[in-house]
Structure 1
Amino acid sequence: MKILFLGDVMGRAGRRALVENLPRLREEWRLDFVVVNGENATGGMGLSGAHAKLLLEAGADCLTLGDHAFDQKDMLQFIETEPRVLRPLNYAKGAPGLGHRVFQDRRGRKVLVTQVLGQVFMKRAFDDPFSAVDQVLRAHPLGGAVQAVLVDIHCEATSEKMGMGHFCDGRASVVVGSHTHVPTADAQILPGGTAFQSDAGMCGDYNSVIGMEKSEPMRRFVTGMPKARFTPALEEATLSGLYVETDDKTGRATRLRMIRLGGRLEQAGP
């Protein structure tokens, strides 16, 4: 199975890059399943229902959210009607929507997707991500109930992301980090066959401060005082993500490659 994960879509620039490129990539790379983190797609803060529809129509099979899951208030209702949008598994008891779901690719193969929020350096205390993921993976054994498993670990600390990768090794096809908007250079297949990267990076304008127009973040760093709201940068975006090929019988990764398409970080595709 050929799986593509694209990191946090950041504002208008990220949406535009995805809409303009994903349909072509699905065909040229013969992708079987595409997961996109969309939690910053609407003005850099959350995901609206309209923008969720846009990303799904462009070719995403599943959208994951994050700690900004419900910054756009219409997502509280939209997520109940659109099962292809997943909120974090350990977000809050009683939160609308689902934290994991089994999908089918175009050939009928079953793909489990789940997202979990980390705890280290996060602004609020979320439930234990490891026990939450463990429960889901036990119920959906790789190579048995499902042919592939993707875990999006959304958090600040690279150590926590690495811990999740090793915790899931052999039980997930892919464990990939999101949230920091900065791609890491540690893409690898772990000993048990799980493809791992600490952070996929963002789909956004890298002439920025993690996707935001530079002047206001820089002012706050220098003076310690805010003057205006953060706004997403709008120059050409780079699509950042992780491409993984898996074995249908075992669900384990056989090949992977970091993706940087367009903008300032472009490199060759798979």
Structure 2
Amino acid sequence: MRILFLGDVMGRAGRSAITDRLPGLRTDWQLDAVIVNGENASSGRGLNAGQAKALFEAGADVVTLGDHAFDQKDMMQAIQADARILRPINYAKTAPGAGARIFDIGGRKLLVAQVLGRVFMSRQYDDPFHPIDTILKAHPLGRSVQAILIDMHCEATSEKMAMGHFCDGRASVVVGTHTHVPTADATILPGGTAYQTDAGMCGDYVSVIGMEKTEPLRRFVTGMTKDRFEPAAQEATLCGLFVETDDATGLATQVAQVRVGGRLSQSGPT
């Protein structure tokens, strides 16, 4: 299975890049499945139903969220109406929607799960390792499902790496999101799981993690707040991870960092 995962979509620039570029990438890279983290699509604060619809129309098969899952209030209803939208599996127990689902991809089964880390996060969530362990034990890779992708949404690189090793050999892909900066460690772990600590954002990199740089710089330099943060609006780079898996085992056979458009150096599968 040929899978593309795209990191946090940041504001209008990120949404436009998805709309403009994803349809062509699906064709050019012969993609079977596309998973997009839509956590920051709505001016950096969550995702609304209309924006989710646009991501699906552009070619996303699944959209994951994160700690801003319900910042846009209509997502409370949208996530119940559309099973393709996932919130973190260890979010509040009363939260609507699901944190993991199996999707039919051309007759093959792809399990997608998202989980929130706890280190340095603004709120305390349930332990991320136990629910992921439960999911992996219930759905053996290469048997009940052909591929498994886990979106690990958290701050700490150490916690993301720990999740990668925890899932090695049991998941096809573990990829980190949330920090908006692509890490240079895309690899296949010893047990066969593709891994990257952070996929980066789909947004304008002439910014401070996707926000127009004037106000963040003011706050860092002076310690004072003047204006609201606003998403940067120049051309975005699509950042993410491409993985090809073996249907028989579910393990990764190829991994490549993805950087398309914008100002970053370009990268993708060969």
| Range into which the TM-score falls when normalised by the shorter chain | over 0.9
TM-superposition CA deviations, 1:67-100 (whole Å, max 9, x none) = 0000000001110000000000001111000100
TM-superposition CA deviations, 1:134-161 (whole Å, max 9, x none) = 1111111100110000000000000000
Report what 1:69 is aligned to: 69
Distance 1:226 1:192 in 2: 48
Report what 1:179 is aligned to: 178
Distance 1:70 1:137 in 2: 26
- Does residue 227 of structure 2 align to residue 228 of structure 1? yes
TM-superposition CA deviations, 1:39-69 (whole Å, max 9, x none) = 1001110000000000011000000000000
* RMSD after superposition: 0.6
Distance 1:262 1:122 in 2: 30
Distance 1:70 1:268 in 2: 32
Report what 1:149 is aligned to: 148
Report what 1:127 is aligned to: 126
Percentage of pairs with the same residue:
70
Report what 1:26 is aligned to: 26
Distance 1:196 1:269 in 2: 15
Report what 2:37 is aligned to: 37
- Normalised to the residue count of structure 2, the TM-score between the two structures is 0.99
The letter for the 2-side match of 1:97 is G
The letter for the 2-side match of 1:26 is R
Which consecutive unaligned segments of at least 5 residues does structure 1 have? Answer: none
SS of structure 1 residue aligned to 2:91 = coil
Report what 1:91 is aligned to: 91
Distance 1:197 1:130 in 2: 17
TM-superposition CA deviations, 1:192-233 (whole Å, max 9, x none) = 000000000000000000000001111111111111111100
What pairs with 1:233-248 in structure 2 (closer than 5 Å)?
Answer: 233-248=232-247
SS of structure 2 residue aligned to 1:115 = strand
TM-superposition CA deviations, 1:96-121 (whole Å, max 9, x none) = 0010000011x210000000000000
SS of structure 1 residue aligned to 2:13 = helix
- Normalised to the residue count of structure 1, the TM-score between the two structures is 0.99
The answer as to whether partners of 1:238 and 1:266 remain within 8 angstroms in 2 is no
Distance 2:257 2:53 in 1: 26
TM-superposition CA deviations, 1:138-196 (whole Å, max 9, x none) = 11110011000000000000000000000000000000000000000011000000000
The letter for the 2-side match of 1:257 is A
Report what 1:81 is aligned to: 81
The letter for the 2-side match of 1:98 is A
What displacement does 1:266 show? 3.6
What pairs with 1:176-215 in structure 2 (closer than 5 Å)?
Answer: 176-215=175-214
The answer as to whether partners of 1:36 and 1:60 remain within 8 angstroms in 2 is yes
Q: Which runs of structure 1 show a deviation greater than 4 angstroms over 4 or more consecutive aligned residues?
A: none
The answer as to whether partners of 1:7 and 1:201 remain within 8 angstroms in 2 is yes
Aligned residues between the structures: 269
Distance 1:42 1:198 in 2: 24
Distance 1:6 1:108 in 2: 23
Distance 2:73 2:37 in 1: 18
